């Protein structure tokens, strides 16, 4: 009887924590933004922040560079639809790239409370608000977007 109460209480606490923290569905796609129209975007496989004032145009134009998936959920890898068969990762030159095929350091998505943090294990290097490399955590706003046609 006691163990059932502990399990029920644990489930309730986990549900409460999940409601507060960031959550990503491994089967959905998302944009990562720093504001209403500033998006993390892949151009020539390098991540930068670009201004896109018309969010609907991203879907209409099938802009794969702004569409990200998190197949392992929080704690898992980051995939940009521009390079759907690779992971986002940190290259030897210190640039965050969307075509990491194992010759760099893969990124992972972390719970940032009200958004997500993209980090390079062991969580000492992060994607900054400009898409560059930083040693300070930066929280990205996550907005669901329809997955782009591949």
pLDDT at 49: 96
Q: Residue 147 half-sphere exposure, CB side, CA atoms within 13 Å? A: 14
Q: For residue 1, give the DSSP letter.
A: -
pLDDT at 85: 81
CATH architecture of 23-145: Trefoil (2.80)
Tens of pLDDT, residue by residue, the chain (150 residues): 444 433 332 333 233 333 347 789 999 999 999 988 999 999 999 999 999 999 999 999 999 999 999 999 999 999 999 988 889 988 878 889 898 766 668 899 999 988 899 988 777 899 999 999 999 999 999 999 999 887
- Listing DSSP states for 70-118 in one string gives -TT-TTSB-EEGGGTTSEEEE-TTS-EEEEESSSSEE-EEEE-SSSEEE
What are the backbone angles phi and psi of residue 95, rounded to the nearest 5°? -100, 140
The answer to whether the CB of 111 falls within 8 A of the CB of 121 is no
pLDDT at 76: 92
15 token code pair = 């549900």
pLDDT at 53: 94
60 token code pair = 């209409």
């Amino acid at each position: 009887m006691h163990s059932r109460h502990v399990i029920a209480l644990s489930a309730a606490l986990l549900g409460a924590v999940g409601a507060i923290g960031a959550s990503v569905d491994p089967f959905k796609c998302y944009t990562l933004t720093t504001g209403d129209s500033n998006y993390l975007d892949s151009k020539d496989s390098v991540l930068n922040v670009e201004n896109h004032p018309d969010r609907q145009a991203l879907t209409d134009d099938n802009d794969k560079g702004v569409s990200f998936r998190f197949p392992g959920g929080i704690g898992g890898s980051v995939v940009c639809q521009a390079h759907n068969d690779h992971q986002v990762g940190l290259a030897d030159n210190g640039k965050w790239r969307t075509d990491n095929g194992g010759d760099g350091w893969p990124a992972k998505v972390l719970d940032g409370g009200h958004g997500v943090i993209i980090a390079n294990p062991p969580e000492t290097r992060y994607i900054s608000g400009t898409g560059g490399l930083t040693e300070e955590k930066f929280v990205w706003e996550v907005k669901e977007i329809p997955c782009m046609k591949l």
